[in-house]
Amino acid sequence: MFSPNLKNYKIILASGSPRRQQFFKDLGLDFEIRLREIDEVYPEMLHSHQITDYLSELKGKAFDGSLAENEILITSDTIVWHENKALGKPKDVENAFEMLKSMSNATHQVVTSISFKTTEKVVTLHDDTAVTFAELTDEMIHYYIDNFQPFDKAGAYGIQDWIGLVGVKSINGSYTNVMGLPTHLVFEFFKNF
């Protein structure tokens, strides 16, 4: 399924996300995990995929000088783009509530960028999915936050969680992108590597 050239390379996933790690396993990729801490700060004038492209590439820069010639590093970043601003991971319960309340009865974009870095070059791809929530009552939002603790998720929700089952009215685009990794882009990249 994947390019024969891939056999000569070691795949490094720079993500602590259990969802992204599971996607790589489900795709049948052999990989190892390497993590580096970075400050996820971006210039204010960036919008939508410019933000995720920037942060995905910034995460890769943390590995400058430490990649071997036969390694491919994969970094990624996801945001929710709503009302012309980026919603990252919520800081606390109040922030999570505000995010979910603002997306009630509205459509937002989930944007993910993936960077593939070797010692020679960086290729960054992104995907955009429109998600429409039905009306989310305060009671629903509190129940979700209390029971699912969505503080590690952009936009304060996981579509695979309870809130996705009861609150998502429609989705236009990649489901796996909303979960944090547009797997079709990963597959295409490694198929054509």
| pTM listed for this prediction | 0.92
pLDDT tens, position by position, 46-63: 999 999 999 999 999 999
pLDDT tens, position by position, 97-124: 999 999 999 999 999 999 999 999 999 9
77 catalytically annotated: yes
Domain locations along the chain: 4-191
The answer to whether 35 and 41 are in contact (CB under 8 A) is: no
SS3 letters across 46-105 = CCCHHHHHHHHHHHHHCCCCCCCCCEEEEEEEEEEEECCEEECCCCCHHHHHHHHHHHCC
What topology is assigned to 4-191 in CATH? Maf protein (3.90.950)
Which among 26, 53, 64, 77 is annotated as catalytic? 77
pLDDT tens, position by position, 72-84: 999 999 999 999 9
Burial class (CB within 10 angstroms; exposed 0-12, middle 13-18, buried 19+) of 99? buried
